Structure 1
Amino acid sequence: MPHPTAVRRLLAGFEARKPMRTTSLIITLFGDTVSQHGHTIWLGSLVNALAPLGVNERLVRTSVFRLVKEGWLEAERVGRRSYYRFTSHGNAEYERAARRIYATEDTSWEGHWQLLLPLAIPDRDREDFRRSLLWQGFRAIASGTYAKPGSAGRALRETLEEFSATEKVMLFDATSSELASPQRLRKMVHECWQLDETAAAYRTFLDNFRPIQKWLAQEGQVQPETAFIVRTLLIHDYRRVLLHDTPLPDELLPPAWPGAEALTLTGGVYKALARASTHHIATLEGGNGALPPPGAGFAARFPGIKPQR
């Protein structure tokens, strides 16, 4: 059965991207799907899952090899078949991201900040450490100084443990002084958090997925493969925007911030596609045959957001 017009346009836009960044797409699929359905997938099923998105087998194999080399994935050989799963590093990185992707965060704020100064991070870890800080909402506000509004929380503790960096950084609690200019504070946040670029990315995301939202509102039933394709691209594109965003409090954001609409749309569309997409996922294979039903954590994704129908 051919895909609806809104889905065909979404696929065409994805396939037209240069470069396609297949490694990032595979990380999305492992995090959104494989991590919830038995943790392991057969390479042949990975190829089949990505084929409708215009990703050929050669590109899948090349990208998987690269992700193994970079420490994201690990392989297990059974006979002539290869099965893949997240490494402990890959799983930890995606779990930290997942707490932002699938949660509706409390952005209330009392003026508290976390300041982090990396003092002795080895060169081999520096880029991965910086990327992990960015995912958590830290930004460089001066040379060698990262800041984040609110508390550091669990994610930072995990990062410091993973990189054995507890003794290699200085971490400070700070507050916004009454003597500080609110205008200057907002200007710093606007520049360091690159809010113009992030807002533009959110608007592009909304332009791409509002037709999907409208289609779901009119559609009585969604085909399983179509639901899986749209769900994968939805989380992939939303994750890419979040990589450059951070959950800033309303006091520091411009009026009518598009991130709020993007979260509501993503959660509603995701929930509307959840049941049908899992039927398609059951046709894929892992280490013990067909991928199992999702774990308990799947139902808790996007709490408080209603399916958009």
Structure 2
Amino acid sequence: MADQHTPRSLIVTLYGAYGRDRRGALPVAELIRLLAALGVDAPSVRSSVSRLKRRGLLIPERTPDGSAGYALSPDARQLLDDGDRRIYDRGTPILADGWALAVFSVPETERGKRHLLRSRLVRLGFGSAAPGVWIAPARLYEETRHTLRRLQLDPYVELFRGEHLGFAATAEAVASWWDLGAVAKRHEEFLTAHEPVLRSWSAGRTASPEDAYRDYLHALDFWRRLPYEDPGLPLELLPEDWPGGRSAEVFGELHALLRDAGAEFVRAGGTG
């Protein structure tokens, strides 16, 4: 994606990985140190933090020693909590779980909201079943409800749960609702970038907490989008040799190997 590994994306990833474990705000000086390890300079950190503040995701807050810092807003915490269920707990999708349907109607005078609604449903993992009718696995319902309410788009949408009864076979229908080829390509890109990293660590690589932090943040920054591009369809609806299972395994193993080791580098600033 276009914003992968940008300063703003990496800041969100950092807060998601480590920012919720701490008491109080993350000092600006610490943000600059932690982003420098990822190749981001201080001016880029400051401008990205300002944009995240304007979006209501970060709120300015003094640390106990009086330093300037930023904490997650309640909306940002809800976003990250919703994201955790996708990123870390994919589970095994079951066809019998059914589908969530989003049916919307937006007046012509509010075309901007129509565009926002469509783009947000896509980012949540919905596929387009028909004009104004969007579909996703039923387990995405709660997150969808939270997101639409947060964006004040809920007056335009009705949400339903149901099952697919035909007329096309469900596997054929799914292939028209989502671009599965594009989703598979993203999984393959993740594997190309991060499977060699996993092999290196699994082979007993000796490296510093900073190395673990850097490799983990880069993997998480890429991976955290994939469960939104890939809605998590049941295996029986996917093409053979689907790469999603392997990419989930690679991320899971990197998470187990590197997350806590990287936390040592985060704590090294003496502010955790």
Aligning the two structures, in what range does the TM-score lie when normalised by the shorter sequence? 0.7 to 0.9
2:19 aligns to what?
Answer: 34
1:305 aligns to what?
Answer: none
Per the alignment, do residues 21 and 187 of structure 1 end up closer, same or farther by CA in structure 2, a change over 3 Å counting?
Answer: farther
2:144 aligns to what?
Answer: 156
Per the alignment, do residues 37 and 257 of structure 1 end up closer, same or farther by CA in structure 2, a change over 3 Å counting?
Answer: farther
Per the alignment, do residues 111 and 42 of structure 1 end up closer, same or farther by CA in structure 2, a change over 3 Å counting?
Answer: closer
Per the alignment, do residues 105 and 71 of structure 1 end up closer, same or farther by CA in structure 2, a change over 3 Å counting?
Answer: same
1:110 aligns to what?
Answer: 96
Corresponding residue to 1:143 among 123, 128, 131: 131
CA contact (8 A) 1:40 1:84 kept: yes
Per the alignment, do residues 66 and 163 of structure 1 end up closer, same or farther by CA in structure 2, a change over 3 Å counting?
Answer: closer
AA paired with 1:66?
Answer: R
AA paired with 1:101?
Answer: I
- Listed as ranges, the gaps of 5+ residues in structure 1 are 1-16, 292-309
- Tell me by how many angstroms 1:87 deviates: 1.1
1:195 aligns to what?
Answer: 180
Question: TM-score, normalised to structure 2's length?
Answer: 0.86
State the Cα deviation string for residues 250-273 of structure 1 (Å, max 9, x = none). Answer: 122111211111111111111111
**Corresponding residue SS for 2:190:** helix
1:48 aligns to what?
Answer: 33
Which whole-Å CA distance do the structure 1 matches of 2:160 and 2:203 have between them? 51
Which whole-Å CA distance do the structure 2 matches of 1:91 and 1:167 have between them? 23
2:59 aligns to what?
Answer: 74
- Tell me by how many angstroms 1:110 deviates: 1.6
State the Cα deviation string for residues 2-44 of structure 1 (Å, max 9, x = none). Answer: xxxxxxxxxxxxxxx9985221111111111112233621111
- Tell me by how many angstroms 1:284 deviates: 3.2
Aligned residues: 268
**Corresponding residue SS for 2:225:** helix
Please identify runs of 4+ aligned residues in structure 1 that moved more than 4 A: 17-20, 77-80, 120-132, 163-167
CA contact (8 A) 1:74 1:84 kept: yes
Per the alignment, do residues 151 and 101 of structure 1 end up closer, same or farther by CA in structure 2, a change over 3 Å counting?
Answer: closer
Which whole-Å CA distance do the structure 1 matches of 2:10 and 2:114 have between them? 24
Corresponding residue to 1:181 among 150, 153, 168: 168
1:214 aligns to what?
Answer: 199
Per the alignment, do residues 49 and 88 of structure 1 end up closer, same or farther by CA in structure 2, a change over 3 Å counting?
Answer: same
Aligned counterparts, 1:1-309, within 5 A = 20-38=5-23, 40-77=25-62, 81-110=67-96, 112-119=98-105, 130=118, 133-163=121-151, 167-177=155-165, 179-182=166-169, 185-219=170-204, 221-284=206-269, 290-291=271-272
**Corresponding residue SS for 2:188:** helix
My pick for the range that moved more, 273-282 or 257-266, is 273-282
CA contact (8 A) 1:202 1:259 kept: yes
**Corresponding residue SS for 1:36:** coil
AA paired with 1:180?
Answer: F
- Tell me by how many angstroms 1:106 deviates: 2.6
**Corresponding residue SS for 1:140:** strand
Which whole-Å CA distance do the structure 2 matches of 1:19 and 1:261 have between them? 21
Which whole-Å CA distance do the structure 2 matches of 1:157 and 1:243 have between them? 15
Per the alignment, do residues 118 and 284 of structure 1 end up closer, same or farther by CA in structure 2, a change over 3 Å counting?
Answer: farther
AA paired with 1:98?
Answer: D
Question: TM-score, normalised to structure 1's length?
Answer: 0.77
Which whole-Å CA distance do the structure 1 matches of 2:50 and 2:155 have between them? 34
AA paired with 1:95?
Answer: D
Which whole-Å CA distance do the structure 2 matches of 1:220 and 1:200 have between them? 29
CA contact (8 A) 2:59 2:73 kept: yes
Identity of aligned residues (%): 25
**Corresponding residue SS for 1:284:** coil
AA paired with 2:91?
Answer: E
